[in-house]
Amino acid sequence: MESSEAPSIELESIEARRDTLFFKISYGEELDPFLTSGLLYVKYDFPVEDIPVSVLSIPLLGFLAPLGWLTGANIKAGEVNREYLASLTDVAN
């Protein structure tokens, strides 16, 4: 029996080390065609360790939002910058 529940992607952790962000996500197997790993990273040319977590989640959410819109997946993250979240809602609409 197929579930009518929407797939989900959850941000489990963010780690900032010097100039690199490491993201750990979990997601259901129905998203396997779109995601190859639960570990992602972004490297910058400046230190990111002192940036608030709500801002550090922005690169990942920018990457995942179109996938969520395409598949109907719910994206869950603990802390998200309020202004950025509002802008994503505007873009989705």
Mind listing the pLDDT tens digit for each residue in 15-68?
999 999 999 999 999 999 999 899 999 999 999 999 999 999 999 999 999 999
Q: Is residue 86 part of a domain?
A: yes
Q: Kindly state the helix (H) or strand (E) to which residue 54 belongs, with its residue range.
A: helix 53-56
pLDDT digits (tens, 9 = 90+) for 60-75: 999 999 999 999 999 9
State how far the Cα of 87 lies from the Cα of 93, in Å rounded to an integer. 10
2 falls within a domain: no
The radius of gyration of the chain's CA atoms, rounded to the nearest angstrom, is: 14
How many helices (H) and strands (E) the chain has is answered by 3, 4
3, part of any domain: no
Distance CA 51, CA 13 (A): 15
What is the number of domains present in the chain?
A: 1
| Domain-located, residue 85 | yes
Determine the Cα–Cα distance for residues 78 and 54; give it in Å rounded to an integer.
8
Residues spanned by the domain of 49: 8-92
